[in-house]
A and B are shown apart, each in its own frame.
Chain A
Amino acid sequence: MSPSVLAHDEMAGRLVWGLRLPRILAAVMLGMSLSTAGMVFQMLFGNPLVEPGFLGVSQGAAFGACLGIVFLGGQAMLVQLLAALFAFLGMGFSYFLAKKSRFGGWVLRLVLAGIAVSAIFSAGVGALKYVADPLRQLPEMTFWLLGGLSSVTWTQVRIVAPVVAVALIVMYAMRWRLNILALDEATAFSLGAAPGVERAILLAAAVAATAAVVSIAGIINWVGLIVPHIARRIFGADSKRALPGAALLGGVFALLCDDVVRTATAGEIPLGIVTSLAGSIIFMLILMSRNVKAER
């Protein structure tokens, strides 16, 4: 389609400006947010196998959204708000539990707390599925849990964009610092950092970005795990270059997946299925390659 068509053909104009453009922006924001947040999570936990859905964030969001669908009428805005709210609650709960528990090191405690909290929320999602109206609510829940951008509107993009922008700027600005925070607590401290405060700021930014995009796109797995790995392969481990690299690759990856989703079949495949499939295949390839490191 040539650009001049947009000026004359009202239908084409509406299609591009009203439907395609917000969706493209949403896909780019989604990929950038999940990948950047993934990089931040992996570095803060000193573990390359962590992703933004960690710490009960994804399952929290899923529970919040399902709650909105089943009990509060399923109005889009409300569902989003609840998803974002419960994403933060999930993380807060995991963090609290990790602080309270007396077992192993800090990272292990966080991992275990995240698993426990995720399990509680996923039990909650199961219960909500069980009580949901199978004709009206269940399809909506399933659709949300599989993730996708087909119903994204300008209003949603406008609400989410500022949150994503601020969070991305914070993570980008502190990107070299992440290297220091990836070291042991005492070492980071000895290098003049205030690990507690700085980690909290970065963690909040990563969860905010994740919660924002998950609220409009539903659960999108694997992007946040895989893209940072590929970015490190291409740009090196130093997050000074790897973090912007991950943001760029993530934006491109999500946009490509969303294009496949739209065009591969006559209908729409949920985006989460495509990212999971593509992501897990890449993951297997990485696992089989020689130099994978998973310490701690």
Chain B
Amino acid sequence: MKALLEIEDAVFGYGLGGIEALRGLSAAVPEGEVTAVLGPNGAGKTTLLHLAIGFLAPRSGRVLFAGKELSEYSRRELGRAIALVPQSERIPFQYTVLEYATLGRAPYLSPLEMPGPEDEAIAEEAIAQVGLAGLSKRDITTLSGGERQLASIARSIAQRPRLMILDEPMSHLDLANKSRVLEILGSLASNGTTVLFTTHEPEVAATSARTLILMREGRVLASGPLTETMTSEALTATYGIPVRVARFEGRAIVVWANGAKEAYV
């Protein structure tokens, strides 16, 4: 499978002389699939995503999208190619869901242009796609956490990107909303959109992703097809506690040690 996004030996540190968040990280995101990034807090997952959208530039190393370095794209080209759903979107004003989803059309408009009826139609379609069709006139600040997350995804769908990046899209969601988001990500991938997301839940990754990237301390420990990377050894190394991967009705389930570190492995 061809890689849509490739990161080659990226080094990145916040501030001058600060410790490096990424220390020679290499990873590839295959086109048209769902890829999940797993790793403990502070492993550099969000930094990796910010590198992938070009928001941060690596101190050394390269980030390639469709074979070209990100710096070769204009701001708007990149906006049309890669969308970001941040971990928890701060929405300070009381937009309607439709107004909010229409913001996804920004990369198709110059800074002086306004969205037209066709942009709103695309946004409406995206809202329907995430299952919020009836809520497009609602004040977004009155929605539940799960619905807000879906609205953020709708905004990114309206962006019509080739690559959709989501930072912990399932945190704070209940099981039903989790499964709804996973379903949406799956259908996006089957329609040709590449999906890359981070998560703290190995089971979420196991259920939805075909490719897995395991990170620890700014490096990739392992990456590749889920079947090869979702192992007890790899997860134990990733999280630094004993973790065991078992199978239940064809799905991977993950059991981890409690504070007493009893031996699962």
Contact = CB atoms under 8 A, between A and B. Distances in A.
A182 B80 contact: no
Given A191-B159, A192-B79, A173 B106 contact: no
Contacts of B91: 183
23 contacts: A48-B92, A176-B109, A176-B114, A179-B95, A179-B99, A182-B92, A182-B93, A186-B84, A187-B84, A187-B89, A189-B53, A190-B83, A191-B103, A191-B104, A192-B76, A192-B79, A193-B106, A198-B111, A236-B95, A237-B94, A240-B114, A291-B141, A293-B94
A227 B264 CA distance: 63
- Most chain A Cβ neighbours within 10 Å, of B92, B112, B165: B92
A295 B111 contact: no
Interface of B: 50, 53-55, 75-80, 82-84, 86, 89-96, 99, 103-104, 106-107, 109, 111-115, 141, 159, 165
Given A176-B115, A186-B84, A187-B84, A192 B78 contact: yes
Given A176-B114, A176-B115, A192 B96 contact: no
Across the A-B interface, give the 10 residue pairs with the lowest CB-CB distance, nearest first.
A192-B79, A192-B107, A190-B84, A237-B93, A191-B106, A192-B76, A238-B99, A46-B92, A237-B95, A237-B94
Contact of A232 (B93, B104, B112): B93
A187 to B, nearest CB: 5
B38 to A, nearest CB: 21
Contacts of B109: 176
Contacts of B80: 192
A241 B109 CA distance: 17
Given A193-B75, A194-B75, 18 more contacts: A174-B111, A176-B109, A176-B115, A177-B112, A179-B95, A179-B99, A183-B90, A183-B103, A186-B50, A186-B86, A191-B79, A191-B104, A193-B79, A193-B106, A232-B93, A236-B96, A237-B96, A240-B114
B93 A48 contact: yes
B86 to A, nearest CB: 5
A126 to B, nearest CB: 34
Contacts of B114: 176, 240
A51 B209 CA distance: 47
B70 to A, nearest CB: 12
Contacts of A276: none
A43 B93 contact: yes
Given A186-B50, A186-B53, A192-B80, A177 B111 contact: yes
B94 A192 contact: no
Interface residues on A, range: 20 to 34
Contacts of B96: 236-238
B75 A192 contact: yes
B73 to A, nearest CB: 10
A296 interface: yes
A133 interface: no
Contacts of B107: 191-192
Contact of A184 (B86, B99, B113): B86
B103 A173 contact: no
B103 A179 contact: yes
A47 interface: yes
- Most chain B Cβ neighbours within 10 Å, of A47, A191, A198: A191
B84 to A, nearest CB: 4
A180 interface: yes
Interface string A159-179: 000000000000001101101
B89 to A, nearest CB: 7
B13 to A, nearest CB: 15
Given A173-B112, A179-B103, A190-B55, A238 B89 contact: no
A173 B110 CA distance: 11
A46 B77 CA distance: 26
A236 B98 CA distance: 12
Contacts of B95: 179, 236-238
A43 B94 CA distance: 12
Nearest to A241: B99
A176 B113 contact: yes
A291 B94 contact: yes
B90 A237 contact: no
Contacts of A187: 84, 86, 89
A291 B141 CA distance: 10
B208 to A, nearest CB: 22
